[in-house]
A = this chain, B = another copy of it.
């Protein structure tokens, strides 16, 4: 999960432009989109560099990754609406027996022209087992 230790960060044109680009858009780009944009300015740019820089920017707290989580899909047979508890230490996912806040959808609808169908709510933290072993 953590990147290799580094004693300091240096500047690079590529990384600066990636951050500028992310700050100038509200489109939540993919790495590939960023690569395509910057390829015009840096004809030799490689996707690996984009990924490495995004990772560095995340370490610096300047960028967030969305849909952050496990790298592979997970499945469940509980098809009723329910929330999840996700342990940031061991990665386990637990069903959360908390009532569904239907009114969140109502409140959201008043703030946007978006047609809201449902919401997804996940709580992140540390599970009991991991808490005890730390």
For A98, the chain B residues whose CB sits under 8 A away are: 107-108, 111
CB < 8 Å: which of B30, B79, B122 contacts A64?
Answer: B79
For A54, the chain B residues whose CB sits under 8 A away are: 75
How close is A64's CB to chain B, nearest CB, in angstroms? 5
- Stretch with Cβ within 8 A of B (4 or more), from A6-14, A38-46, A123-131: A123-131
Q: How far is the CA of A119 from the CA of B28 in the complex (A)?
A: 19
Give the interface size class of chain A: 35 or more
Q: Tell me, yes or no, whether A133 is within 8 Å of chain B by CB.
A: no
Residues of A within 8 A of B (CB): 19, 22-23, 26-32, 34, 54, 61-70, 72-79, 84-85, 87-88, 92-98, 101, 104-105, 107-108, 111-128, 131
How close is A89's CB to chain B, nearest CB, in angstroms? 10
Are B92 and A75 in contact, CB atoms less than 8 angstroms apart?
no
Residue of B nearest to A70 (CB): B67
Q: A114-B123, A122-B119, A123-B119 in contact; A75/B22 too (CB < 8 A)?
A: yes
How close is A71's CB to chain B, nearest CB, in angstroms? 9
Are B124 and A72 in contact, CB atoms less than 8 angstroms apart?
no
Are B94 and A26 in contact, CB atoms less than 8 angstroms apart?
yes
